[in-house]
Copies of this chain bind each other. A is one copy, B any other.
Amino acid sequence: MTQSFRLGVAGLGTVGAAVVRMVARRAETLSAATGRAIRVTAVSSRDRGRDRGLDLTGITWFDDPVALARSGEVDAVVELIGGSEGAAKAVVEAALAAGKHVITANKALLAHHGAGLAEAAEAKGVALAFEASAAGGIPIVKALREGLPGNAVNRVYGILNGTCNYILTRMELEGLTFEACLKDAQALGYAEADPTFDVEGFDTAHKLAILTSLAFGTTLDAEGVSVEGISAITPLDLTMAEELGYRIKLLGVAQIAAGGIEQRVHPTMVPKSSSIAQVMGVTNAVTVDADAVGELTLIGPGAGGEATASAVVADIADVAAGLVRPAFGRPTARMQPASRVEMQRHEGGYYIRLTVHDRPGVAAGVATRMAEREISLESILQRRSERAASQDPHGRSGQPVPLVLITYAATEGTIRAALDAIAADGLLAEAPQLIRIERE
């Protein structure tokens, strides 16, 4: 047997502690799979005094994670500090510069600095591995990087944020508001005290940028992702979705379109019969549409200490076994520049919920503005409130009532122009709600 493979773990939070335990617990399997003993030889964390329930006997403690990254005692550095800048970035850069392999779960770091880090890894002939950075315990990075080289990918999309899916699931099943579900998610530890990063879609955008690069061989372009969160979704939207045969999920979608690649994160209507619609609670899922396999869907845990550690340990085993392949599936010099496609040019079906004044001719006025722009309507649903109906059974109460349209494929620019015209006609009592539809 060759020399043992020595790991330095920077960051001993939930995931870091789980990695240290897992490497010890699975020692036999890891050595059988890789041909080498794998050992954690060094760790670093902010608070040395904290009891993590870990046996750190024989493991060197570093107060400074950058010193750990440079240490002669480690062959690979496992970065679990988090954040796109600061200590995490310094650790990864120092490790690569010192010719050490890097394994990280840090999606923000990769989304913003992935190309430069991949280049640094290539220059030194070491691995930059990040299975845990997207969709947690689901081996989607491996599937895209190594499992589909025979395929041209057309689209990759998924539920990449457990917090949002948990909130949407509870809103749907219990008829609750976004605010009420968020509060519960915070109480249960599924959402942060400041939930913006999750619920406004930025976390999903980081993960999507990584998957896009792997799927299409393009340079990372996190800034090019169009992002919209779930905070504006109402119980009424979920009820209407249910009636129309859809569920609402926060999806990250990357797709080949005319002139480039669309990258978008937004609440999405998905057909109730689709695999992705069945994914409830904190679970994640990713679907790949590709020319040879058709549709491939992976469903599993998107977060959690053990599930994330599972992905980190899979990377550790790959690297220990000598797998050093280009981080994003191809050398950075051969990655294609990412051509952005603006959302105005996105073409698809739309759910549009208008709040109109209850009076004769409003639906006709709305439909006319759509028809003028050649937007075809699949359904139009008018739902008068009981209050409006009690005030005037003939539909002339003037009360605000919902009017829901489902369109066939149209560009977002056209849809928005039609909505502007409808607003200018004075037909709307509130700003319109617009949710994109994604079909299988």
* Chain A positions near chain B (C-beta within 8 angstroms): 18, 22-23, 26, 29-30, 32-34, 131, 137-139, 142-143, 145-152, 217, 273, 275, 278, 290-301, 306-307, 309-310, 312-314, 317-318, 321-323, 325-326, 329-331, 334
Contacts and interface: CB of A to CB of B under 8 A. Distances in A.
Contact of A330 (B29, B142, B296): B29
Given A26-B150, A32-B326, A139-B143, A298 B301 contact: no
B323 A33 contact: no
Contact of A301 (B26, B294, B313): B294
Contact of A275 (B138, B278, B313): B278
Contacts of A293: 137, 300-301, 306-307, 310
Contacts of A146: 33, 139, 142, 314, 317-318
B296 A331 contact: no
Report the copy number of this chain in the oligomer. Answer: 2
Contacts of A145: 33
**Which label, helix, strand, loop or mixed, suits the secondary structure of the A interface?**
mixed
Given A314-B147, A314-B148, A29 B291 contact: no
Contacts of A18: 292
A144 to B, nearest CB: 10
B137 A310 contact: no
Contact of A278 (B152, B278, B321, B326): B278
Nearest to A304: B294
A122 B11 CA distance: 38
Contacts of A138: 296
Contacts of A334: 32
